[in-house]
Amino acid sequence: MIVAATLFAWGADTVQVKQTRIPILIDRVDNVLFYLRVDAQETKALNEIVLRFADQVNLNEVEAVKLYYSGTEAPQRAGQLHYSPVQQYVSSHAQGKTRCANPSYSLKVEEVIAPVSEVIFSPDYKLFPGINYFWVSLQMIPNASLLSTIDVELTSVKLDGQEAPLAFATERATHRMGIGVRHAGDDGSASYRIPGLVTSKKGSLLGVYDVRYNSSVDLQEYVDVGLSRSTDKGQTWEKMRLPLSFGEHGGMPKAQNGVGDPAILVDDVTGAIWVIAAWTHGMGNGRAWVNSMDGNGKETTAQLMLAKSTDDGRTWSAPINITGQVKDPSWNFLLQGPGMGITMADGTLVFPIQFIDAERIPHAGVMYSKDRGESWTIHEPARSNTTEAQVAELEPGVLMLNMRDNRGGSRAVAVTSDLGKTWTEHPSSRSVLQEPVCMASLIAVKAEDNVLGRDILLFSNPNSTTSRHLITIKASLDGGLTFPNEYQVLLDEDSGWGYSCLTMIDRETVGILYESSVAHMTFQAVKLTDIVK
């Protein structure tokens, strides 16, 4: 049993324990399971730590469990409660060093290969006078299932030969698997940002994102649109492709030909796949958000570009420029969602969009095509001072736009029955879905397309008003009026950039590609029945 921290005074002989709520990456050598803090004012040695896996855990998928020591506390943090001396034992940002413990911060004390249900560490580790930090790491076998879960508890600790009282900072939690689709340093890129995700007509998963070669900053920089493809429901991913990349176009260097913030759409009628992104030519490596100006030429304003695939995402067309079709020349900047677009029940293709008007005020809306992507139209925006949005069809012909709102605190939501000519504020707007001002994801899943047999809206974002952490998937069974607490699954409690995109992998399973605390592009699969219990 997990014992509440309030049952014990936090004294010198108490071991303070925090169990993580972050993804366990199958492709990582080390994943943090538990943090331990030992205040050794009188205690001389840590003798034993006992863990117990739940009966339902498939231990054949566990490669190893490890115990690390991470040193002591800085005097300047005296009187503060921390569970580690550094922010991350396993970095999510150090290029090429994101899959195993940083040896500068941790000493491996003990390792148990192919563990059984009870794991006993017997380190007899001499403690430094004062606060000492340890942590427990988990390594999975390379082909562990994405749908597997780990349920494990820390049952006892012995200090100086005596069982110590345990103070738990968090409740016992189920750990879910994940895959680091893109890590910092992969393919020589500093970072990856801005996920979009769809399931093709053939069942392939197609994830798009920014490949930010030099740093994590937004356009204008050396940025391409990357794509990762999986044909086995996310267990493995093919080598990265580049659907949109401009290189040294027009005599400008690569860092002044960036293209990014992608969205991806599957045409449910033809099976074609579209990627849309903003291309910026010039702009002197200043941020496009403030340096893209009016007009429609590439010399002054960002260009709205499409690429098309007719072979399930394997190959892509040359870029298609639709800026002149849809951009009002008075606008300073027009770009997509980002994330994903949809095919409506009548076959209309729809991408969410955002633009900055002549007064430098941002707006969110939609653009659509009635002719399979040959031509596109934008009508009116849904709400001012909004940016990144996602669109879902609530019922035939009725679109819901869920928007990042710069006012902060909560998502803005509007609906339209005429493809954006007119908009009505939804009752949930600015009240139901909290946010820290960040991109989010929204998908509609029809009753006939899911195992529950009910119309469902699924939503993901950082479930906070203050920072980009607590990445959560939520469900609504009443058309978005409510997203009850009992219909939620927390995926990642720690901080990251926080963008996410959802898709249905099959009738039973939700897929999410997101910017997590453990990898720049993390993929997880969650059973729908785990969300709507």
318 Cβ contact partners less than 8 Å away, ≥ 6 residues apart? 307
Q: Cα(276)–Cα(367) distance, rounded to whole angstroms?
A: 12
Closest CA to 473 of 494, 495, 500: 500
Can you give 259-314 as a three-state secondary structure string?
EEEEEEEECCCCCCEEEEEEECCCHHHCCHHHHCCCCCCCCCCCEEEEEEECCCCC
48 Cβ contact partners less than 8 Å away, ≥ 6 residues apart? 120, 121, 122, 123, 156, 157, 158
Residue entry with tokens 């503060």: 80
For the purposes of burial, counting CB atoms within 10 Å of the CB of 13, is it exposed (0-12), middle (13-18) or buried (19 or more)? middle
Quick check: 417 and 346 in contact, CB under 8 A? no
How far apart are the two ends of the chain, measured CA to CA in Å? 24
If one counts every other C-beta atom within 10 angstroms of the C-beta of residue 99, the result is 18
Q: Cα(53)–Cα(24) distance, rounded to whole angstroms?
A: 15
Q: Cα(400)–Cα(444) distance, rounded to whole angstroms?
A: 10
Helix (H) or strand (E) holding 326: helix 323-326
For the purposes of burial, counting CB atoms within 10 Å of the CB of 367, is it exposed (0-12), middle (13-18) or buried (19 or more)? buried
Q: Does the annotation mark 388 as catalytic? A: yes
If one counts every other C-beta atom within 10 angstroms of the C-beta of residue 191, the result is 26
Q: Cα(359)–Cα(266) distance, rounded to whole angstroms?
A: 34
Distances (CA, A) of 261 to 164, 192, 194, 220, 258: 51, 11, 6, 11, 10
Closest CA to 324 of 361, 378, 266: 378
Closest CA to 8 of 156, 162, 167: 167
Query: Which among 388, 393, 435, 515 is annotated as catalytic?
Result: 388
Q: Cα(382)–Cα(47) distance, rounded to whole angstroms?
A: 62
Quick check: 215 and 159 in contact, CB under 8 A? no
Q: Cα(151)–Cα(292) distance, rounded to whole angstroms?
A: 50
Buried b (16+ CB within 10 A) or exposed e, 331-345: bbbbbbbbbbbbbbe
Catalytic residues: 388
